[in-house]
Structure 1
Amino acid sequence: MKTIILFHGHCPDGFGGAYSAWKKFGDSAEYIPLKHGKEPVVVEPGNDLYFIDFCYPKDVMDAIAADAASLTILDHHLGTSEVVKSFPKGHFDNDHSGAVLGWQYFHPDTKVPTLLSYIEDGDLYRHTLPDSRALLAYIHTKPLSFESWDALVAELEDSKGLAAAISLGATYREHYGILASQMIDSAELVSFEGYEIYLASASSAFVSDVGNHLAKKKGPLALVGQVRPDGIRVGIRGDGSVDVAEIARKFGGNGHPSAAGFSLPWGTPIPWTPIEKDEDSRD
């Protein structure tokens, strides 16, 4: 029997949850990143499974649970709440991110590392911690590997290391702002789900800032696309007036009311249409 950690892939928050599990199980467990819009993972029966920051629809989770020795789910996305709560070992908490939920579950008597607290601050788009954006800019320069994050945790627990990281991050953030502005300026108007909104192209580190800026500029939401080998990853950011997670679920994705996403595999019809440029309509 194996311990298998299944987590939201290509996501610092999901990886933070996996890191929390790694600090408990180390290399004795298997770690599998998951993506929305992909075929459900196939795992051997009879293993202990932990889903972190990720949850399939109810029918898929039921089938997985039927073959597992045990199934634990840790998630915070509102669209998964009923599914998570339907399992005896389902833990749902919308007040915390996947990284912090993972740490609190696997290390209940140990303080949440500074790194994971900042990951949560950014994932929930609160930015209430000191120098949050600067430190996150620094954090995002580090590879998503357990060894790298282990060193980063130690670095940020040291006051001098934290101060140095914030200083470097502030410099990165200034350059980041220039690049984000260029992405924002290149956005185009499209028609999507009955709305006339902005669509921009940006890498994953820029999705939230670019999307939120454009959603505020012209609500109720904005789309930010990333071209990947298997298709287009689409981030949705909203101004709070519509539930963008509900929209994302129409396309096999999920998320939060104001921040969600979905994937469009190659060959999938594009769900938006361009709007002919009109300077007056661009505010």
Structure 2
Amino acid sequence: MRTIIFYHGHCPDGFGGAYAAWKKFGDTAEYIGLRHGNVPEEDGTGANVYFIDFCFPKEIMDGFVERAASVTVLDHHEGVSDIVKSMPAYVFDSNRSGATIAWSFFHPDTKIPILLTHIEDDDLFRFLLPDTRALLSYLEVRPFEFPVWDEVARTLDDPEKSETLFSKARIYAEYFELLAGVAADQAKLVSFEGYECYFGTAHPIKPMKSLVGNLLAKKKGPLSLTVTAHPSGYGVSIRGDGTIDVSKIAQKYGGNGHPNSAGFLIARKGPFPWEKIDEAPLD
């Protein structure tokens, strides 16, 4: 019987969860990254299906339940908690990330790798561990491939080798922070969801997107928009200053996320949910 691992694509936490599954199933499973707004061609018929760090709307998930041999959802996004808890098998914990939930599920008797604890620290915007931002900056520009991540995980779990990797990662982080400052300086004011906020761009490096968004949200709260262009449309990242729940806004547009970090996609042709305020020409 086939095993299909659906996971939140283009996301360290989602891929970290897929990595946890890969450490159990290896190449015997199929691994398919997902994005909100895009339904995969694979419909899971007759397969054991796992959703990691991702959950479709209720009607789509119910379709998978009807077709698949089994459906298990491992998630932590509060915006989809009701859907997750309606599935035949699930683990939901908003205090953990998808990657660590998946590791504990697939490897209940094995300590969570240091790599995944840093991913959780980043994904939940806690930053309680030293060098989390640096490590994620390094990780984001490495290939999202299981053997590559496995090498990073083994290096981090080796005290004699981990400091060398962290030293390299700090250089990446410093460089990205400088670039983010340049990008933030180019941001323009827009009106969005009743708020006057900054609209910035950063593409294609995800650490840049988060860094720019956080800088802009601090510069002018309660939120900021950082937009990236893709062939099928635009990715919109919302970052908050902690005074509002930006995931609620993302859900209005078919997206999801966390109280201070969320996102959604909009079609290339629009319409765009913001209006320009700043009349200064683009640089």
Band the TM-score falls in, shorter-chain normalisation: over 0.9
Residue 74 of structure 1: aligned partner: 74
Question: Shift in Å at residue 125 of structure 1?
Answer: 1.2
Using the alignment, how far apart are the partners of 1:44 and 1:255 within structure 2? 25
Task: State the Cα deviation string for residues 11-39 of structure 1 (Å, max 9, x = none).
Answer: 11100000100110111101111000223
How many residues align? The count is: 278
Task: State the Cα deviation string for residues 133-172 of structure 1 (Å, max 9, x = none).
Answer: 2222222232100111111111111112210011111122
Using the alignment, how far apart are the partners of 1:90 and 1:187 within structure 2? 41
Residue 11 of structure 1: aligned partner: 11
Residue 232 of structure 2: aligned partner: 230
The AA in structure 1 aligned to 2:265 is S
Question: Shift in Å at residue 87 of structure 1?
Answer: 1.8
3-state DSSP class of the match of 1:45?
coil
Question: Shift in Å at residue 42 of structure 1?
Answer: 3.8
TM-score by length of 1: 0.94
The AA in structure 1 aligned to 2:225 is L
Which moved further from structure 2: 71-80 or 170-179? 170-179
Question: Shift in Å at residue 253 of structure 1?
Answer: 0.5
Report sequence identity in percent: 53
Residue 109 of structure 2: aligned partner: 109
> CA contact under 8 A between 2:119 and 2:132: conserved in structure 1?
no
Residue 62 of structure 1: aligned partner: 62
The AA in structure 1 aligned to 2:229 is V
> CA contact under 8 A between 1:34 and 1:41: conserved in structure 2?
no
Task: State the Cα deviation string for residues 19-78 of structure 1 (Å, max 9, x = none).
Answer: 100110111101111000223554141110000000011111111111111000000111
3-state DSSP class of the match of 1:39?
coil
> CA contact under 8 A between 2:136 and 2:207: conserved in structure 1?
no
1:220 aligns with 2:222: yes
| Superposition RMSD in Å | 1.4
The AA in structure 1 aligned to 2:58 is K
The AA in structure 2 aligned to 1:262 is F
Residue 249 of structure 1: aligned partner: 251
> CA contact under 8 A between 2:177 and 2:208: conserved in structure 1?
no
Using the alignment, how far apart are the partners of 1:160 and 1:177 within structure 2? 28
Task: Mark the runs of 5 or more structure 1 residues left unpaired by the alignment.
Answer: 279-283
Runs (4+) off by over 4 Å = none
3-state DSSP class of the match of 1:6?
strand
Question: Shift in Å at residue 214 of structure 1?
Answer: 1.1
